[in-house]
């Protein structure tokens, strides 16, 4: 069954964690779990500045992400995969907005 964009975004927004795939300068893929938020149809996450995924995105903006729910009975399973171009946001009003949304969804972020 095909989901519309709204249902996909709702599924992503509710997911506690997603996996993000990036590619390094040598073309090697890397998949990393991240805590994220959905805002105005886009997916955002925070990262320490010295991570491989940020270095990969700085080199090649192409990313893919996946969120899924697995049930051993195979009922009510679901998943979303998306591909796109990432943009690093290091400061400014959008940075502050996304940080606030992440703090609300993941309270431990504020103390870290």
pTM of the predicted model as reported, rounded to 2 decimal places: 0.85
In sequence order, the 6+-apart residues with CB closer than 8 A to the CB of 27 are: none
How many Cα atoms occupy the beta-carbon half-sphere of 41 within 13 Å? 4
Tens-digit pLDDT profile for the chain (112 aa)? Answer: 678 888 888 888 889 999 999 999 999 999 999 999 999 999 999 998 899 999 999 999 999 999 988 777 777 777 899 999 999 999 999 999 999 999 999 887 676 6
User: What would the two tokens of residue 81 be?
Assistant: 């995969």
pLDDT of the residue at 87: 94
pLDDT of the residue at 99: 94
């Amino acid at each position: 069954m095909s989901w519309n964009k709204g249902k996909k975004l709702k599924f992503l927004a509710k997911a506690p964690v997603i996996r993000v795939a990036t590619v390094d300068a040598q073309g090697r893929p890397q998949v990393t779990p991240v805590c994220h938020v959905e805002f105005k149809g886009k997916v955002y996450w925070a990262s320490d500045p010295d991570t491989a995924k940020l270095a990969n995105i700085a080199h090649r903006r192409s990313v893919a992400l996946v969120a899924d729910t697995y049930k051993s009975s195979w009922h009510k399973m679901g998943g979303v995969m998306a591909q796109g171009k990432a943009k690093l946001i290091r400061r400014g009003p959008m940075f502050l907005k996304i940080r606030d949304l992440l703090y609300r969804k993941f309270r431990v972020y504020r103390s870290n």
